[in-house]
Structure 1
């Protein structure tokens, strides 16, 4: 009996000592209702359990789909547990073992400054959580873009290219920067873009982002600005009213400034100008409805087509005298106008409001005309009477009259109006 006890004690002493952090293997003995896997640790004579959370990161996964009774499984010893029901045992973790090996692989494979592609697994307050070959990495919010980003949720589920700026396997610390990659790519793209583009070129790009003053267009790693005034010939209050992020647009290069790394673009310059069809759509005599855009001392500018404004001169506003156009018109007024003249080459359009209204009748107009006619008759009679007296004097005192061309070849009959003597 003593010999048997001695053999049992010797066998127990020969079994390996299980410690936290050890990597062990064992056979799956059971899968219980508590969603944990019971494992008999090889050569230790003890059991360990792997909770579902230590088996996979997928909370919805079914443990029975991942392991079967009788499978051999490898895990790391995480911590001891004591239970009156189950006795002395260990908590094991398959996930922790996979993470440890992934860290070892990363430490051997990557170094600070290396570029990796990593899917974004989580968006947190301070930045993005990414997966780098099974290792949890972190991109701080300040290192995501080379500009401020309001909403980080747009990156969730995306795969981003980032540079490793800190790697520490012992502390499980992996910090990356997407901004560093973008800056490097932008420098190369800037060099290429400024070598390829010239002012006047028409190219395609995608709307990258928008502000109140315009839209930034991605030309292939470099953004150019379309000012809000260059989006359309029509007035645009907000770029987002007519454009959307990701939309492909044609743009014309208006300016290039390599020193300031600025590119000025225009969308409307790629579209037919409104003045090109102005002569066809608004020939002389056409009646149009327009909107008063602004009022100046000498008249009012009225928009009759998007991007086409004509001038209603102060003299063409009303049949009555207008001292100040602002007394009659204001910006935003809808008015009917008649086209007086159109010159597309000079982008000038002359309009009239009063041409569409009837001139008011003048008071006592007939009486005045009658008085003027009577006055003219009286004047003629006086001239005739005076003429008779002059003719009498001419009979007594003959005068010499020239009939030269300097006097218009007049005859004596013309000068004396001989019919008066009939």
Structure 2
């Protein structure tokens, strides 16, 4: 018995001594109820524990899903639990060892100004936490070239960011995505302004929308389609007809390299409403339209999307009117007759009164005018004495 005890004591004495900060290898033996890993520290005969928070930089990582019994890990001893050698165990960390090695590599291989590709692992107040092997931080003001209200959209994304500050002693790594975007934007501006010209038709993606228009990404540079240039139909707001990410064709209306502005049109890449108007609204046809504008000289009536015709004040009513607003109002639906159509000049002449019956008084007036004209003719005709005709002769001819 004494011999066995002596052998056990000898084995314990021979076991490597473990100190805080030592790097050890641990074999996964089990997982406890707290989802911690129980590991056997190789060459020591004692066990250690890896808490969940000490497994990875990624707070969402689950070691019970990523590890299996028998896996061997490189770990660092962070604290001792218990005092006797036989029953003692240790808190171990995989994360801190990886961080230590990452800081060494980061400091050796990189400097401020270098670009890193890093996944966003956490959104916190004031910015984004990224995994560069060590925890890095991108302040909210350094994420975009514009204000961003919702930072959660970046979680899980891998972004390119420039090192602003690196300090292993304080575990401090500050990055800027805005700096990278600015450099990329400058390169994109040079490329886009060098490749496209006014009147070109190109493809782009809807990047974002406002009440006054839609911004189209042309390849790292945004151009603006004003709401009036989205469609020949009336558009109240861009989001009614467009969606973010949608691919659209646009025509380049204007470019200002100095101000980095590009004006675009979607509707001018589509068939214009005047192209079919001669077919859809030939002379003499009757249409229904909406009064869009009233002027002193007439009313403009929309008879198709993007097509307005003029009802001159003289064509509004058989009765005399002082102003179109006396009998019409904006938004009113009216029936009109097409008097003439000129697609090339985009002119459409319309009439409302042509579809209304002439008042009886005006009919009588017209009849009287005709009668007056006949009497005048007779008077003029009988004024020629040389022919020797009598009034009776002329009246007889008229009766015939």
Q: Which residue in 2 is equivalent to 1:417? A: 389
Q: Distance in 1 between matches of 2:187 and 2:363?
A: 85
Q: Distance in 2 between matches of 1:223 and 1:277?
A: 33
Q: Which residue in 2 is equivalent to 1:124? A: 124
Q: Distance in 2 between matches of 1:229 and 1:29?
A: 69
**Contact kept? 1:25, 1:41, Cα under 8 Å:** yes
Larger Rg: 1
Identify if the C-alpha distance between structure 1 residues 364 and 31 changes in structure 2 by more than 3 Å, giving closer, same or farther: closer
Q: Distance in 2 between matches of 1:126 and 1:147?
A: 15
Say how many residue pairs are matched: 382
- 1:112-168 per-position Cα deviation (integer Å, ceiling 9, x unaligned): 111122222223332222222x32222222111112223223222222222121222
1:306 to 2:305 alignment = yes
1:348 Cα offset (Å): 0.9
Q: Which runs of 5+ in 2 are unaligned?
A: 394-400
Q: Distance in 2 between matches of 1:207 and 1:364?
A: 61
1:276 to 2:275 alignment = yes
Identify if the C-alpha distance between structure 1 residues 274 and 40 changes in structure 2 by more than 3 Å, giving closer, same or farther: closer
Q: Distance in 2 between matches of 1:376 and 1:65?
A: 113
- 1:342-387 per-position Cα deviation (integer Å, ceiling 9, x unaligned): 1111111111111111112129949x959x78x969x97xx99xx9
Identify if the C-alpha distance between structure 1 residues 246 and 329 changes in structure 2 by more than 3 Å, giving closer, same or farther: same
Q: Which residue in 2 is equivalent to 1:220? A: 219
Q: Which residue in 2 is equivalent to 1:79? A: 79
What pairs up with 1:151-170 in 2 under 5 angstroms?
Answer: 151-170=150-169
1:213 Cα offset (Å): 1.4
Identify if the C-alpha distance between structure 1 residues 151 and 59 changes in structure 2 by more than 3 Å, giving closer, same or farther: closer
1:287 Cα offset (Å): 0.5
1:95 Cα offset (Å): 2.0
What pairs up with 1:234-249 in 2 under 5 angstroms?
Answer: 234-249=233-248
Q: Which residue in 2 is equivalent to 1:36? A: 36
Q: Which runs of 5+ in 1 are unaligned?
A: 388-409
Q: Distance in 1 between matches of 2:59 and 2:299?
A: 70
TM-score calculated relative to the size of structure 1: 0.79
What pairs up with 1:14-29 in 2 under 5 angstroms?
Answer: 16=17, 18-19=19-20, 21-28=21-28
Q: Distance in 2 between matches of 1:142 and 1:265?
A: 30
Q: Distance in 1 between matches of 2:199 and 2:222?
A: 17
Q: Distance in 2 between matches of 1:246 and 1:260?
A: 25
Q: Distance in 2 between matches of 1:47 and 1:364?
A: 115
Q: Which residue in 2 is equivalent to 1:91? A: 91
